[in-house]
Structure 1
Amino acid sequence: MPLETEHAQFLASVHPYDALSADDLEALVGLCTTETFDTGAPVFQVGDSIQYLYVIVAGEVEVTDEMDVQLSLLGPRNSFGERALLRGGPSQRTAVAIGATTLIRIPADVLHALIGEHPKIARFFDRRHPARTDAKDLTVLPVNQLMTRDPVTCWPTDTIRAAAQQMAQHHISSICVVDSDCFQGIVTVRDMNAKVVAGGADPDQAVSTIMSPDPLTLPPSALGMDVLHMMMERRIGHVPIVEDGTLLGIVTQTDLTRFQALSSADLVRRVAEAEDAAAMARVTAEIPALLAQLVNMGTRHDIVTRLVTDIADTVTRRLLAMAEVELGPPPHPYLWLACGSQGRREQTGVSDQDNCLILSDDVTDADMPYFAKLAQIVSDGLNTCGYVYCPGDMMATNPRWCQPLSVWRAYFTGWIAKPNPEAQMLASVMFDLRPIGGDESLFDDLQAETLAKASRNSIFVAHLIANSLKHYPPLGMLRGLATIRSGEHRNRLDLKHNGVVPVVDLGRVYALQGQLTAVNTRARIEAAMAAGGLSATGGADLLDAYDLIATTRLEHQAAQVKAGQGPDNYLSPATLSDFERSHLRDAFVVVKTMQSAIGTGKGALG
C-alpha cells in the first residue's frame, strides 16, 4: 500500500480529520510530510517558531513547559503544536521524542485552510482556542462599539422648550442632561408627552423639572446583550453609557434594530412581565434548551453562563418586586446578594440557589419579620423556577444570612481573624457575593474593607490557599484520567468539583491576594495578570485550561439536553476522542501545576 494511502487511512481514524471525505483526505496527505525522530530528539523547543501541526503515527512525545515540567506524554493518534500555531508567536513548549517516533506534519497554511473550509474542524480547534465570533453578535459586542458617541445634551437650567427643539432638530427620542460633563439625567419623548403635553408643565421651566434623575446606566465595558437585557427587564428604550459620572454615549432601541435579538433576551423580557412565580417557571424551563442552542452556535462558555445567569438575576429582581407589592415598602434599605455560581455569573443548566440579605443598620427587631417574609417569598419563588433550595442552607431564609451590615462586618472580621475550617468555607462562599437587587451602597464599603483586611492577614491567606487545594483535577497515575470509582456516577469525570471548581478556587485566591473586586473567575484571572499577581505565561495557560474544561462541561450538558436528558456534570471519558482526552488531561495538568505553584508560594508561574 502506498505510504500516502496508508496515512490517509490513518487520518481517517483520527478526529477531527474523520469528518473529511476520502478525496479531501488524499488531498490533505498530499500536502503533508512525514518525519521520524530518534529517542531524545527535539521536535521543537521553547522559543521556536512553529510551522506545523504534528500528528503522532507511532512512538511517543513528551511535552514540557519552560520550567521543564512535564505537561503531557502523547502517544499515537494524538496531535500537538496547534497551540503556538493558531495563537501565533514563539512556542512556550518543548516537544521531545520518546523512542523512535513518526509524525505527520500538517503545514500551517494547510491547517488554516482546513479550519476555514470545514466547520467541524474549525469547531474542534475552537475548543482549544477562543472561538471566532461574528462582530455583529450582541453576546460579545462591546457596548462602546454599539453606542452613539457624543449624544445630544443640554444643561439642567435650559428650558423644556429649548430641549424639545434640540430633539426635533436632531430627530432623536431623548436628550441627556449634563452639568460640567457630569451626567445628571435624561428626558425622553415619553417625558415630554406625559409631563408637558398631558401634564401641563410650563415649557419655559427648567428641563431638570421633568428629567428622570439618576436613570439606569451601563459602563462602556458592558456588552450589547447587557443593554438588551436591561431594556427588556426594565422596559426602557434608552440606556446612557456612563463612566465615573461622565456621559460617554447612549444606546437606544433604534441602535439595536440591526441586531438580531437572541432568545436569552426574550426569556428576560418574559420573566420581567410574568405575573407570578408559576409564570416565571414556565420561562426558566426553557433555559436548558437555550444553553444547548448557545453551545451549538459555538458561543464562548463564559458568555453562555453570563446569559443564563442574567435570567436568574431577572427572576430574583422580579420576585423581590412581587414581595414588596405583597408586603408593602421595606421599613429600611436592604440588599439581596447572590453567591456561588450566580454570584460569579457562571450558572449552567444545573444550579441551586445561594443568596443572602444585608440590611441597613437602622433595622430593629420589630423589622425583622418583614425581611424574613421577603426572603421566604423570594427563595420559594426561586425554587419554583428551578433554582432549588441550597442543601447547605446558604440562603437568606436562614436568619444567620439575613442580618444588618454591622453583623456582616463582624462575620468577615471573625472569619479572617480565626480561620477555622468553617470560617474558610464561609469566607470562600462569601467572597463571591454580587449585588442583585436593593441598595448596593450597603455592599461597596464592605467589599473593599474585607479584601483589605483579608489580604493583609497572611495566616488567613495561607488557610484559604490550603482550602482551595482540597479540590483537585482528576489525574491518574499512568497518564490517564481518574474517574469516580463507585456509586451512581462510576467511571465518569466530575467536571464541576474536579474540573471547574479548582480553577474557581485559584481565581478567588488571586483576587484576594491582589485585592481585586472582580467576582467572575475568568475576569479574576485576567485582572490578576494585569495587576502582575500572575505571570502572562501562567495566566494564559490557566485561561486556556479553564476554557477547555468549562467548554467540555457545557458541551456535555448540551448533548444531554439534545438527547432529552436532564443536564449534569458527569462525563464519561469514553465519549471523547483520543485527541480530546489528551488535551483535557493537558488542561488538568496545567491546573494541578498552578495549584502546586500557589501552594508553595510561587503563585505567578512564568
Structure 2
Amino acid sequence: MAEDPGTVVSPVERRLAQPIRPILWCQATDRIRDVARLISTGVHSCALVRTRAGFGIVTDHDFRRRVATGELSIDAPVAQLVAAPVLTVDEDATQAAALLKMVEHAVHHLVVIDRDGRPVGVLRAVDLAHAEVRDPLLVRSAIDTATTVDEVVAAAQLLPAAMVALCDSRVAAIDIGALHAAVVDAIVRRVLWARADPVLAEVSHSWVALGSLARRESLPRSDIDTALVWADSTTPDRAAAIRAAAGGVLDDLRRCGLEPCPNGTNANTAEFSRSRSEWAGAISTWRRETIQERSLLRYAMVADSRPLTETALGRCLTDPIRGHARDTRFLRALLDEALGFRPPTGIIRDFVVEHGGAHGGQLDLKRGGLAPVVGLARWVAIATGDAGGNTPERLHRGAAHGLLTLDETQTLTGAFEDVYTLALRHEADALRSGATPTTYIGPKTLDTLTRRHLRESFRAVHAVQAAIDENWMARLERMPAS
C-alpha cells in the first residue's frame, strides 16, 4: 500500500547516478591485446569501440569467450570482437529499469546515453545498488547456460527466492512483476531450445504468452496462459502432433514451477493453438459474436498477448485490433465485459468478501482489486488500436487519446499499483513461510491505515467505472482520428 513518508525508497528505484562509470574508448583497428591491457589496468570491464556505423562494445566476457579459447588471435583488430548495436539506457532511467533491460537481453553492461543520444557512461550489473537486486540476472545466467531440460528446471527453482529478495529490498512491485516475466520468458525459450522437439522443429511457429504474463504483471506463483500459432504451410493433419508436442513443453514448464492454466488457456488445446489463418478466422468470429460471453472472453484473452518466439508470426493475434478500434457495438460489449468486474466496496464500512468455502471471509485481490482496472485498461487498448504495454501504460495512453481524464488515469493507476503491491507482498510472505500462495487475503489481517486506503481505492475505481459507463460514446468521439 502507500508507503509511510519516512520509508526509505529502495536504492534500485533511484535514478542512475553513482553506478555510472566513465567510458573507455578505443578504435576498431586497435589490436585485441592492447584493448585488453587497457581494460585490465583500470576499473573497466568493457570498452566502447568507434566504428563507421556508430559504436559497439567489447566486454571482458568477450575476451574470455572468444580470445582465451583461441577463436581469435590477440593481434586481431578489436573490431572482430565487437558486439553491435549497443544496448543503451537513458541517463534519467531508474536502476530498476536498467536491471530489467539487462535481464531481458541477458547482458551485464549497458551504455548510458543523454537526451541527445550521446554516450555518457557505462552501467555494469555488479555496480547496481544491492546484491539482492542482481539475483534475477544470476537466475537468467543459469537458464542461458543450461544445456538440458533438467538443468533449466534446476535454474528455474531459483526464481521464487529471487522475487522474495526483491520484495525484501523494497523494489517497486510493478518492476518486480516485469523482472519476473522477463525470467519466465527466458525459461520458456530455453525449454523449447533444450527439448528441440522434432515436430515443432518442422514448422514455423510462435509460442505466445497471454494474460498477466503477456502484460508483464504476473505474480511469482501465477499460472501461465499460453497460445501457439503456426504457419499456414503446415498441413492440417499435423495439428494433433503439434499440440501433443506443445503439451510436452507445458509438462516441462510445470517441472520448472510454471503451472499451465487450469481453465484450459494453454498452447496444447484446440482453442488456443491454430494456424495463422485459423486464428484470423477465430478472432473475426469472436468480434462478431458480441452477445456471447465466451467469445468476448476469448477476444479479451488474445488482446493480452505477447509473442515469445517468432514475433512477426505471433503478432497475428493482436494485429486485427487496430481494425476493430472504431466498432462501437463491439466496444460497448467489451466495456460491459470489463465492467462486470466490480471492486468489493462495502455497503457501510467494510469490504464485500467471500461468504463461504475455503476462502470464506476473505477478499480476492485478483478479481476484486486488479481485474476491474485491468479490464478498463484492456478496453482502452482495444479502443485505441494498440494492445501493447502493461496496465499503467495502457491507462496513460487512454489519457493521451481522451478516453480518460488525467485524474481518472491517476486514480486507476494508483489503485492498480496499490493492490498489485499488496498481492505481491502477500504472495512473498507465503513463499517465505512455505505456505501455498493465493490472491485471497483476510481484511482483518491488514492494519487500519491499509484497510482504509484500500477501501478508498476501491470506491474511487467504482466511481471511474460509473463515469465511463455513462459517457463512453462521448469519450470515443473525442479520440483523434487514426
What range describes the TM-score normalised by the shorter chain of this pair? 0.7 to 0.9
C-alpha displacement at 1:487, in angstroms?
1.6
How far apart are residue 241 of structure 1 and its match? 7.1
Structure 2 counterpart of 1:503? 373
Question: Which AA in structure 2 matches 1:407?
Answer: E
- Equivalent residue for 1:487, pick from 357, 365, 369: 357
- 1:133 matched residue in structure 2: 9
C-alpha displacement of 1:294: 3.6
1:270 counterpart = 2:146: no
Q: Please give the alpha-carbon distance, in whole angstroms, between the structure 2 residues aligned to 1:397 and 1:130.
A: 50
Aligned pairs for 1:217-236 within 5 A:
217=87, 220=90, 224=95, 228=99, 236=107
Of structures 1 and 2, the larger Rg is shown by 1
2:206 alignment counterpart = 335
> Alpha-carbon deviation of 1:415?
2.5
Question: Is residue 2:349 matched to residue 1:472?
Answer: no
State the Cα RMSD in Å: 4.0
Q: Which residue of 2 aligns with 1:410?
A: 281
- Alpha-carbon distance between aligned partners in 2 of 1:335 and 1:597, rounded to the nearest angstrom: 39
Q: Which residue of 1 aligns with 2:189?
A: 317
Q: Is 1:345 matched up with 2:216?
A: yes
Would you tell me which structure has more helix in proportion to its own residues? Answer: 2
Following TM superposition, by how much is the alpha carbon of 1:455 offset from its aligned partner in structure 2, in angstroms?
A: 0.9
Instruction: Tell me if 1:431 matches 2:303.
Output: yes
Q: What's the offset of the Cα at 1:380?
A: 0.8
The answer as to whether partners of 1:475 and 1:585 remain within 8 angstroms in 2 is yes
Pair 502,353 (structure 1): closer, same or farther in 2 beyond 3 Å: same
Q: Distance in 1 between matches of 2:160 and 2:340?
A: 30
List per-residue Cα deviations over 1:185-220 (Å, max 9, x = no partner).
Answer: 655566567767834679688x766655667x4664
Q: Residue 328 of structure 2 aligns with which residue?
A: 458
Alignment partners' CA distance in 2, 1:445 and 1:298: 38
Residue identity matched to 2:256: C
SS in 2 for 1:400: coil
Which residue is equivalent to 1:298? 170
Which of 311, 335, 339 is equivalent to 1:440?
A: 311
Distance 2:64 2:168 in 1: 45
Q: Which residue of 2 aligns with 1:39?
A: none
Question: How many angstroms apart in 2 are the aligned matches of 1:179 and 1:362?
Answer: 41
Task: Give the residue type in structure 1 aligned to 2:186.
Answer: T
Task: Point out where structure 1 has 5 or more consecutive residues left out of the alignment.
Answer: 1-123
Q: Confirm whether residue 544 of structure 1 aligns to residue 421 of structure 2.
A: no
Contact 1:432–1:519 (8 Å) recurs in 2:
no
1:352, distance to aligned residue in structure 2 (A) = 1.2
CA contact (8 A) 1:343 1:433 kept: yes
Query: TM-score normalized by structure 1?
Result: 0.65
The AA in structure 1 aligned to 2:288 is A
Between 1:351-360 and 1:185-194, the stretch displaced more is 185-194
Distance 1:477 1:188, change over 3 A: closer
User: Counterparts in 2 of 1:52-67, with a 5 A limit?
Assistant: none
Give, in whole Å, the separation in 1 of the partners of 2:406 and 2:187. Answer: 38
Give, in angstroms, the shift of residue 470 of structure 1.
1.2
Give me the whole-angstrom Cα distance separating, in 2, the residues matched to 1:554 and 1:332. 38
Q: Is 1:566 paired with 2:432? A: no
Aligned to 2:480: none
Change in 2 beyond 3 A, CA 1:235/1:529: closer
Report what 1:12 is aligned to.
none
Tell me if structure 1 keeps the 8 A contact 2:173–2:420.
yes
1:167/1:174 contact within 8 Å kept: no
More strand by share: 1
Match of 2:388 among 518, 528, 533: 518
SS of alignment partner, residue 456 of structure 1 = coil
1:360 equivalenced with 2:235 (yes/no) = no
Tell me, yes or no, if the aligned pair for 2:232 and 2:276 is still in contact at 8 Å.
yes
Higher mean C-alpha deviation, range 525-534 or range 470-479? 525-534
When residues 559 and 477 of structure 1 are mapped into structure 2, their CA distance, relative to the original with a 3 A threshold, is: same
Pick closer, same or farther for the CA change 1:273–1:591 going to 2, 3 Å: same
- Is 1:590 the counterpart of 2:467? The answer is no
Task: Give the deviation of 1:159 after TM superposition.
Answer: 4.3
Q: 2:479: which partner in 1?
A: none
> What percent identity do the matched residue pairs reach?
22
- CA distance in 2 between partners of 1:192 and 1:283 (Å): 26
Residue 590 of structure 1 aligns to a residue whose secondary structure is helix
Deviation at 1:467, TM superposition (A): 0.5
Unaligned runs of 5+ in 2: 476-482
Change (3 A) 1:168 1:240: same
What's the TM-score, normalizing by structure 2? 0.80
- 1:433 deviates by 0.7
Aligned residue-pair number: 464
